[in-house]
């Protein structure tokens, strides 16, 4: 399992900063899964990829959801 730092994980999301990932961690059910090793936070690369794959696909900005 490849673990990514917060900064490395944020690079998978265009326009998303590490602070956004920190905010998502405080909101239940929001953002990709992560693991803590001591006080450090890491994101399994496969979890980032699964999260992105599960995002809804849209064909118009008018679609809700």
pLDDT given at position 64: 65
pLDDT given at position 62: 78
pTM of the model: 0.82
pLDDT in tens, 27-55: 998 999 999 999 999 999 999 999 999 98
Q: Is residue 34 part of a domain?
A: yes
Cα angle: 43, vertex 20, 56; to 5 degrees: 75
User: What is the domain range of residue 36?
Assistant: 3-54
Q: Is residue 62 part of a domain?
A: no
Work out how many domains the chain is built from and give that number.
1
Q: Is residue 64 part of a domain?
A: no
């Amino acid at each position: 399992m490849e673990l990514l730092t917060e900064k490395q994980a944020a690079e998978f999301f265009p326009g998303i900063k590490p602070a956004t990932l920190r905010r998502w961690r405080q909101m239940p059910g929001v953002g990709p899964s992560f693991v803590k090793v001591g006080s450090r936070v890491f994101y399994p690369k496969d979890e980032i990829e699964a999260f992105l794959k599960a995002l809804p696909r849209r064909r118009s900005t008018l679609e809700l959801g």
